[in-house]
Structure 1
Amino acid sequence: MSRSTAVSAMMLALLSSGTASAQGAAPRPDQLAYRHLLKELVETDTSVATGSCTLAAQKIAARLKAAGYADDQVTPFVADGFPLDGGLVAILPGRSRTAKPMLLLGHLDVVNARREDWQRDPFGFVEEKGYFYGRGTADMKALVAIWVDTFVRLKKERYRPVRTIKLALTCGEESGARMNGVEWLAKNRPQLIAAEFALNEGGGGDTDGRGKLVSQSLQVGEKSNRSFDLQTTNPGGHSSIPIADNAIYQLSDALGKIRALTFPVRFNETTRAFFTQVGRRRADDIGRAMVRLANDPADRAAEAIVSVDRGYNSMLRTTCVATMIEGGHAVNALPQRAKATVNCRIAPGDDGDTTRVALMQAIGDPKVSVTMVGRLRPVAVPPPLDAKIVKPAEQLVARYFPGAPLIPTMSTGATDATYLAPIGIPTYGVPGPWGDPDGNGAHGLNERMEVRSVYVGRDFLYDLVKVYAAAK
């Protein structure tokens, strides 16, 4: 039996019946080593409220050095003034002097979690009923552990890639209001992470919720994140003498117009490919409308059908939604001030300035101020659908996950990829591990990843890294 046939047979068995551990048999020794690494990462609190990315980076550095990496191949870093937000960059040198490096990217920090809200300790690692539980298992410590584990495995094999492989693990993707490690590296140590391309979070498999893998995705681009404060002011006065000129009412009118605002459809190379491929695979009205809309963005009937789906609607256009509100200063006084925050996810082709103008035009009231607020990431630049990236991933997906197509997709969220585009590093979210339709509790309660998803995804990504590393 060829290696390719053997891999396909093994994957079919795993996908249909679960991994050895899910069936009660002992995991392989290499899987146990990975599990121990993932447990250590999950149980190292890296939330901005109570944790330390620096501590996690130190533990990873120790593992890499124990695996045989020299001191000059592992570079910890901590930005001035942010002692808890450290990270590291590791390097496995390649043989070629001309092939540009590749970069594996991951964030160590996780969303805050309160023990009283969870069924289990969020910073305790639990394996239960075929799932790994703990804050960060889905976003994104399972993938970080895969990257670290890959570096350890390659060193133990004495593998010499054609191109240099770099690993950057940083803090601040979830807690960027304090600092962002990728932004810091891009500004202060760009040569340390310089690469022809980077592999990141954002892709992965989707299931039907009943254990069947439906598709794999390769993230090729994402939306930009901008927030705006809408504010109204008024002299106020005694509540016993109300008038129509009321700051809260004025703000409410403005928010109603934002609610009714629909931005135009904006396709790019990735989203057009996504809507075409997914639409052709759907045997329903939405699928047919997706194909029509990809061919003709001015087809309003098709747009109306597709936009009913929240996810598809968000991929089609810039979206803005009110997320916070405050106003007034006393129960017996007319409000002197009212403010709302509107969060916008901006499609490529728009930017913060054009979005602000659209908000102001929709509101149509010069007395409502619209101010951009918060941390300003660079505007997302979609990477190309490069055959050197897409084809190897398609071929490996076909081997590991027969029948599951690899579909390019644009994330409606935001990742640290936005900081790499300005320094010339196109970044792709990898396929491999798959998730449940409910999002696996990422950013929410009782976060989890399916055990077989993690183990199969680990093997898939190990092979994918070696395929890219062997190419010139």
Structure 2
Amino acid sequence: MRRTLLGLAAAAAILHAVPAAAQTARPDQARFRELYRELVETNTTLSSGSCTQAAQQIAARLKAAGYADSRITLFSVPDHPKEGGIVAVLPGSSASAKPILLLAHIDVVEAKRADWTRDPFKLVEENGYLYARGTSDDKAMAAIWADDMVRFKESGYRPKRTIKMALTCGEETTYAFNGAQWLAQNRPDLVAAEFALNEGGGGDTDGHGKLLVQQMQVGEKAVQNFRVETRNPGGHSSQPVPDNAIYELAADLGRLAAYDFPLEMSDTTRTFFARTGATRADAIGKAMVALAANPQDKAAEAIVNTDKAYHSMLRTTCVATLLEGGHANNALPQRAAANINCRIFPGHRIEEIQAKLAEVMADPKATLTAVPPVRPTAKSPPLDAKVMGPATTLAAKYFPGVPVIPSMSTGATDGIFLEAIGIPVYGVPGPWGDPDGNGVHGLNERIEVRSLMVGRDYLTDLVKAYADKV
């Protein structure tokens, strides 16, 4: 997971404001901190952790709040007993209103103690930040959703819509068991909803305490790896020939490097470029606005393409990421291969991109295959006013003067599996991060305490706004 960063410096005039009430510790915040601490300090890495344990701990809290066993589903599969998850249901009062789904993943990226300044699985607060693996990605959201479900039940809150929560494992590791995918394919009834709220959105700061923008992720690219391989009988290196597997692969990759997929825009990205560009006074900002108005404006495209994040938002991208070749220092190579990592613009099938790669490399002797797992075709959810409206209205309360802008992720989340079965997924605003990425997927991951607490209040009100309006 991560969202696309905006041109932050250009929007520095937008001030971050936090309601006074959010700055004062409350009893419910102390309880939340304990739930959050327990979740963060439960190791859920693939190598040595257990998502199943974390899910069971959340289940215990839900049962203590009054949920019947029939409203809680703990799931795993025999081959992956430690990669389980949980689905919980708070029934709504309306028989006709479709549910909403709160989705988050509870697995985290690996973290080596020797590399970290602090124990990555011990929550530490320093200088206004909370440090540990998963403090941001994605246990902040998972803890907020679980805390909401507990508080809603304890308070007797009865929403019009049924509220479902799915906390799953496997999002951070491509080849692991993926709980969201399993639910979509095996228990779609458990997660069926009109729409889902997920990671991928959130706020960006200038790194000095000013919140610049809140994003609503509306769509994401599909991730797919391909393997291109060249083969040759080889021979003794003392007698080289032009037909060389490594040279052939290099030529294929050279043609790929020179190719740029054509520009595309969705309703989301067109709105993103128009609104984000309007916040900037530089040449890129003006070009973004011009390109949103006329995607055929090649001069504007050339300027926007100088920003690698914006370039990626405008098209499918495919890039070589791994190489292998040869078998001995003194032998002509019999085989050479490369991994090509593609981030596919919504709406394009895997087979379509594979055919385009073959066309671009123009090498009938090479083999090109899709590397499992093969993910579903990415689908963009609608830029729906009933989703964007409440998020924008509440942002005016919690983040005065900060715009909420729809964006498309160039990365990936588990939302793609729900989109495949017809559930639109939105990465919601709320907690914010700094320009350096807050150590997500890297060393010394952190989240600002204000970000966590204010974001929690915002998301709680947002869930209620969606759940009470049919």
TM class by shorter-chain length? over 0.9
Contact 1:79–1:184 under 8 Å retained in 2: no
Structure 1 SS opposite 2:359 = helix
Structure 1 SS opposite 2:80 = coil
Residues 13 and 464 (structure 1 numbering): CA distance in 2 closer, same or farther, change over 3 Å?
closer
Q: 2:78 matched to which residue of 1?
A: 80
Q: 1:428 matched to which residue of 2?
A: 426
Matches within 5 A, 1:219-298: 219-298=217-296
Deviation sequence 1:55-101 (CA, Å, 0-9, x none): 11011101111111111111111123221111111011111111111
Q: What is the identity, as a one-letter code, of the residue corresponding to 2:142?
A: V
- Which segment is superposed worse, 230-239 or 111-120? 111-120
Structure 1 SS opposite 2:407 = strand
Task: Give the one of 439, 461, 464 matched to 1:463.
Answer: 461
Contact 1:239–1:334 under 8 Å retained in 2: yes
Instruction: Return the offset for 1:241.
Output: 2.0
Q: 1:120 matched to which residue of 2?
A: 118
Instruction: Return the offset for 1:370.
Output: 1.4
Instruction: Return the offset for 1:202.
Output: 0.6
Q: What is the identity, as a one-letter code, of the residue corresponding to 2:114?
A: E
Distance 1:260 1:117 in 2: 38
Distance 1:169 1:262 in 2: 38
- Which segment is superposed worse, 452-461 or 189-198? 189-198
- Which segment is superposed worse, 118-127 or 268-277? 118-127
Q: 1:195 matched to which residue of 2?
A: 193
Structure 1 SS opposite 2:374 = coil
Contact 2:22–2:454 under 8 Å retained in 1: no
Structure 1 SS opposite 2:364 = coil
Deviation sequence 1:359-407 (CA, Å, 0-9, x none): 1122111122211102111111111011111111110011110110000
Q: What is the identity, as a one-letter code, of the residue corresponding to 1:251?
A: L
Contact 2:87–2:167 under 8 Å retained in 1: yes
Structure 2 SS opposite 1:414 = coil
Q: 1:362 matched to which residue of 2?
A: 360
Distance 1:316 1:96 in 2: 41
Contact 1:19–1:451 under 8 Å retained in 2: no
Q: 1:170 matched to which residue of 2?
A: 168
Q: What is the identity, as a one-letter code, of the residue corresponding to 1:12?
A: A
- Which segment is superposed worse, 399-408 or 367-376? 367-376
5+ residue gaps, structure 1, are 1-10, 21-26
Residues 14 and 334 (structure 1 numbering): CA distance in 2 closer, same or farther, change over 3 Å?
farther
Contact 2:174–2:373 under 8 Å retained in 1: yes
Matched, 1:443 2:441: yes
Q: 1:29 matched to which residue of 2?
A: 27
Q: What is the identity, as a one-letter code, of the residue corresponding to 1:240?
A: S
Contact 1:227–1:344 under 8 Å retained in 2: yes
Matches within 5 A, 1:16-165: 19=23, 27-165=25-163
Q: 2:372 matched to which residue of 1?
A: 374
Contact 2:121–2:133 under 8 Å retained in 1: yes
> What TM-score, normalized by structure 1, do the two folds share?
0.94
Contact 2:378–2:420 under 8 Å retained in 1: no
Matched, 1:348 2:346: yes
Contact 2:171–2:178 under 8 Å retained in 1: yes
CA RMSD of superposed structures (Å)? 1.6
Matched, 1:204 2:202: yes
Instruction: Return the offset for 1:171.
Output: 1.0
Contact 1:206–1:437 under 8 Å retained in 2: yes
Q: 1:24 matched to which residue of 2?
A: none
Structure 1 SS opposite 2:17 = helix
Matches within 5 A, 1:2-17: 12-13=17-18
> What TM-score, normalized by structure 2, do the two folds share?
0.94
Structure 2 SS opposite 1:227 = strand
Distance 2:98 2:416 in 1: 20
Structure 2 SS opposite 1:464 = helix
Distance 1:301 1:134 in 2: 45
Q: What is the identity, as a one-letter code, of the residue corresponding to 1:451?
A: V
Distance 2:448 2:19 in 1: 12
Q: Percent identity at matched positions?
A: 61
Distance 2:279 2:451 in 1: 24
Distance 1:356 1:468 in 2: 40
5+ residue gaps, structure 2, are 1-15
Contact 1:320–1:345 under 8 Å retained in 2: yes
Deviation sequence 1:165-216 (CA, Å, 0-9, x none): 0001111111241321111111221111111111000100011122110110
Q: 1:3 matched to which residue of 2?
A: none
Contact 1:247–1:338 under 8 Å retained in 2: yes
Task: Give the one of 388, 407, 414 matched to 1:409.
Answer: 407
Instruction: Return the offset for 1:147.
Output: 0.4
Instruction: Return the offset for 1:307.
Output: 0.6
- Which segment is superposed worse, 164-173 or 415-424? 415-424
Distance 2:262 2:420 in 1: 26
Distance 1:421 1:337 in 2: 39
Instruction: Return the offset for 1:134.
Output: 1.2
Contact 1:104–1:168 under 8 Å retained in 2: yes
Distance 1:44 1:349 in 2: 38
Q: What is the identity, as a one-letter code, of the residue corresponding to 2:207?
A: G
Q: 1:386 matched to which residue of 2?
A: 384
Distance 2:161 2:359 in 1: 51
Q: 1:6 matched to which residue of 2?
A: none
- Which segment is superposed worse, 356-365 or 260-269? 356-365
Distance 2:272 2:150 in 1: 35
Q: 1:7 matched to which residue of 2?
A: none
Q: What is the identity, as a one-letter code, of the residue corresponding to 2:241?
A: I
Distance 1:183 1:430 in 2: 20
Distance 1:13 1:361 in 2: 53
Distance 1:18 1:128 in 2: 19
Contact 1:261–1:362 under 8 Å retained in 2: yes
Deviation sequence 1:25-59 (CA, Å, 0-9, x none): xx332222212111111111111111111111011
